[in-house]
Homo-oligomer: A and B are copies of this chain.
Amino acid sequence: MKLQQLRYLVEVERRGLNVSAAAEALFTSQPGVSKQIGLLEEELGLTIFERSGKRLTAITAPGRIVLAMAQRMLVEAQNMKRVGEDFAAESSGTLSIATTHTQARYTLPPVIQRFVRRHPAIRLHIQQGSPLQVAEWVMDGSVDLGIATEALDRYPDLVTLPCFQWAHKVVTPRDHPLLAMQPLTLAALAGYPLITYDATFTGRSRIDRAFERQNLRPNVMLTAIDSDVIKTYVALGLGVGIIAEMAFDPARDEALAAMPVSHLFEGNTTRVGFRRDIWLRGYEYDFMELLAPQLTRRMVEATLKGEGADPGL
């Protein structure tokens, strides 16, 4: 049994049982992959893939078990490399983060700035997507850390830690009639066309839930994944915006006025998440602490220990 064979195996599964695609993804030849998988099956004395003639059609029951084991072994192998990077240099390495637009645009810049100053040789990779995508990327190992307000905590194989809390703000043009209203009500908001986040983004669930509770049907006339887009359309007078508070900058957004609405919508908690079974490098602990001061290395490690429950296979 070779680790290569396991890599081939896992990749074939990831590519929907397409050996050619797997070979391409691994920069090797298709026959090689085919052969090694055959050898592995022979060595283990079982068939991992069901074949109809020469085409792989399904994964057998033992195959599924073997696959799960292979994945764990590969994660462990990757962790070993991480330990190397971690202890050896602390200077080289890559930190890849998946997050949503709001975090990438408003929360992360100062964090990243300090991180880069402290770890100048670490290459950074920020991948932007929906909270669900963020979670999936963390799950499949294509990024190390995921930062999002939604979705992350729905994956039991991820460790998620709360970073900070935030509230929404309502933004309007500076001359908007709502600005005179004290205090602002949901009913009043529902009287205007609304511009806010896309269905699965950045606390949108809290917004919807608040209106639902009062049986209001808000007129959401435009949604975006991007606070800047929302603000732009609000400035054009197309409606009233509901955005994350950190996305409003009085200096930069001088065409707009913002009103606190923490009394209308539930608070949101932005979380950082990572796979329970990966090895966190020193600079990843550092990054988390920069992101949220309470996430010290000691605290994160304690959480890992405490949550040690492994659902396993």
Contacts and interface: CB of A to CB of B under 8 A. Distances in A.
B72 A87 contact: no
A62 B83 contact: yes
A76 B69 CA distance: 6
B62 A87 contact: yes
Given A1-B81, A3-B3, A87 B308 contact: no
A46 interface: yes
A45 B89 contact: yes
Interface residues of A, number: 33
| Copies of this chain, whole number | 2
A37 to B, nearest CB: 14
A88 B45 contact: yes
Interface in A268-313: 305, 308-312
B83 A76 contact: no
A70 to B, nearest CB: 7
SS class of chain A's interface: helix, strand, loop or mixed?
helix
B2 A2 contact: yes
Given A62-B87, A308-B309, A308-B310, A69 B79 contact: yes
A84 B45 contact: yes
A95 interface: no
A117 B79 CA distance: 45
A84 B309 contact: no
A80 interface: yes
B44 A88 contact: yes
Contacts of A310: 308-310, 312
Identify the 9 closest CB pairs spanning chains A and B, nearest first. Answer: A44-B84, A45-B88, A62-B87, A310-B310, A45-B84, A46-B88, A73-B76, A46-B87, A69-B80
